[in-house]
Every structure is written in structure tokens, then in C-alpha cells.
Chains A and B, each alone.
Chain A
């Protein structure tokens, strides 16, 4: 398979993730869509790694996974904290910072 196939699949997944981030209102689902976008980027990295014949792309994808795991931990802790104070995970709710 040519890398173009993988990169196009990656672009499709990335766009679906972006639409999800913009459309969904549940903070956890929004978070999962961000994860989907990160995964799509990883797929592109892996495809480019094979295209170029060296492992640098795979190492970068590995780092992306580590950073994504750390980000999920902190993000979910923030969501739990917001849920405790506001009893809701809708991202329309925390609008107090507006004023």
C-alpha cells in the first residue's frame, strides 16, 4: 500500500475528530474526540516512517502516545473536579470566566 492511502485515512479520522470536538457538548466525549485526532496524527507518523525507511516517525508517534496519556490523566481529573462543583460535564455550563 502506498503511504497516500494511510495519510488519507488519517486525514479522514482527524476531520471526524475535529467535527466531534466542535459539535459535541459532553466534555468527556470532546476529550475522546481529541484523542481520536492524536491517534490520526500517529497513523500519519507511522505511515511516513515506513515511506522514509527510518524509525524516527515511530519514535515521534511513541512520544505522542506518552504525552496523550499524561494529558488524559490531567484532563479527566479536571473534568471530575468541575463535575464536583457544578454537577455537570456539559461544556456550555462553565461560562463564568466570561465576565
Chain B
């Protein structure tokens, strides 16, 4: 029984541990911030499973609800506000900063793993069975601690949460400096400033050619530049107007037999 539990925990540790590290690496290597957020969610779910494996079912559930539920959704929400395609600039403002950062990070990892790992080398797994069953369960045990030993920090935390909510409201609030424009004002502004308040002249509606690359003609026979869509103009795909043809049409129109 005991070895079966140990084997199960070992499997859970290796599966979830590898997923957590993969998620963390994906977080820092993804080019797009949304992908980073999704990798981060993978790490958080793996950590939640590891909490449950460590006899902390309450924390595991809180991890899923608070982190993958609330915090990651908040991150994604702000990403959508700020613009999904905001990518990293690859220019280093401080020269060699990236290499130095990676070396320092690796050094930190080696220091932590070697230092703490070697000091914990012979320590057994321990067990929370006794502590969890003392008050009837893990949740009851944590509740007992929070409302006795940690009562003051718990109350301070509630003040912190209210302050954070108020702070977010104050920071995200946008003050309206000018009165909101009314519909007549918007209409007047539209006609006062722009050259063309109405529709642009439509292209390609004369005689033989009925296509968007044919420019519209003004009453004097000249070509109206604004009637051609911008991309076509940029590609140089505008169909030239044959003025000989125009004269012919005009003469037919006037009834003379030339």
C-alpha cells in the first residue's frame, strides 16, 4: 500500500514537474504574449496537481480557481485591451544584457539547487496525515490556523484586497476632460474639416468598362483620381482612359456621322 502510494506520487511528480518546466520555458520563449499566457496556465495547472499530491487539496483547488481562473483571465483580458500583436523589441538597450541575464539566471539555479538540494539530501518525505486529520480535514486545519494563529495577518489581507480593488478602479478610471460631443456637433465637424464628407465617386461606370480599375470621368472628361481604390493606384493597375474612344462616343452621342 505504502509503496503503491509512493509510486503514484513519483509518477505524478515527474509528469507534472516536466509539464510545469515545459510551461515555464514556453512562457519565456514564446514570441506572442498570448502564447506566453497559455503556457503559464499549463504551469499553474501542473502546480495545482503537485499541491494536491503534497496533501494540500485546498491549496490545489485555490490555485486552479484563483490563478488559472481569475489571474490568467485578467492577464488575457489586459492583453486584449493592450493589443494582442504587441511583440517584444529585440533591440538591447544595455549591451550584452540578455547574455548576462541568462548567465545570472543559470547561476541562481545552480546555487539554489546545490545549496538547498544538498541540505535536504537525507530528509524523508514526512506526512501531513496527522495534521490533516486533527481537525477533521485539510480545509478545517487551515481554517483553524487562519482564524487563530494568523488572524491578524488575515484581517490585514482583507484591507489589502479592498485597497487593491480601489487602486485598480482609480488607476483604470479615465477622466472625461471635455463634454461628450452631441450628434449635431459631430456632424458639423465632419463637414467642416474633411474634403469629402459624402461618398467618393464610384469607379468603372461608363460605357464599356464596368470594373473598379476604370477611373470615373469628371464632366469635362478628365480622370477623377479619388475614384480609384488606393491599393490599385499603388500597384499601378489603373486602366488608362482612351481619349480617342471618348471622342468617338461623344460624337455618336451628338449624332454626327464621322
B153 CB-CB contact with A under 8 Å: yes
The answer on a CB contact under 8 Å between A80 and B102 is no
> Given A7-B120, A16-B25, A43-B47, does the pair A53, B130 have CB atoms closer than 8 Å?
yes
Residue of B nearest to A70 (CB): B164
| Alpha-carbon distance between A33 and B36 when the two chains are bound, in angstroms | 9
> Which of B78, B89, B113, B167 is the one whose CB lies under 8 Å from A74?
B167
**B102-118 near A? 1/0 per residue, CB < 8 Å:** 10111011001100110
CB–CB B54/A29 < 8 A: no
Q: Chain B residues near A51 (CB, 8 Å)?
A: 123, 125-126
Q: Which residues of A contact B116 (CB under 8 A)?
A: 4, 7-8, 11
Please, how many angstroms separate the alpha-carbon atoms of A84 and B98 in the complex?
A: 28
Known: A22-B105, A51-B126. A66 touches B120 (CB 8 A): no
| Sampled A-B contacts (9; CB under 8 Å) | A6-B13, A20-B27, A23-B28, A26-B87, A51-B123, A55-B141, A58-B58, A81-B172, A90-B89
Beyond known contacts A39-B43, A70-B161, A79-B78: 18 more, CB 8 A cutoff? A2-B123, A8-B116, A9-B50, A11-B109, A12-B113, A14-B112, A29-B88, A35-B71, A39-B67, A46-B50, A50-B125, A50-B127, A55-B132, A55-B138, A62-B146, A65-B66, A80-B82, A83-B81
**Which residues in B have some Cβ–Cβ distance to A below 8 Å?**
6, 9-10, 13, 17, 20-21, 24-25, 27-28, 33, 36-37, 40, 43-44, 47, 50-51, 53-56, 58-59, 62-63, 66-67, 70-71, 74-75, 78-79, 81-82, 86-89, 91, 93, 97-98, 101-102, 104-106, 108-109, 112-113, 116-117, 120-121, 123-128, 130-132, 138, 141-142, 145-146, 149-150, 153-154, 157, 160-161, 163-165, 167-168, 171-172, 174
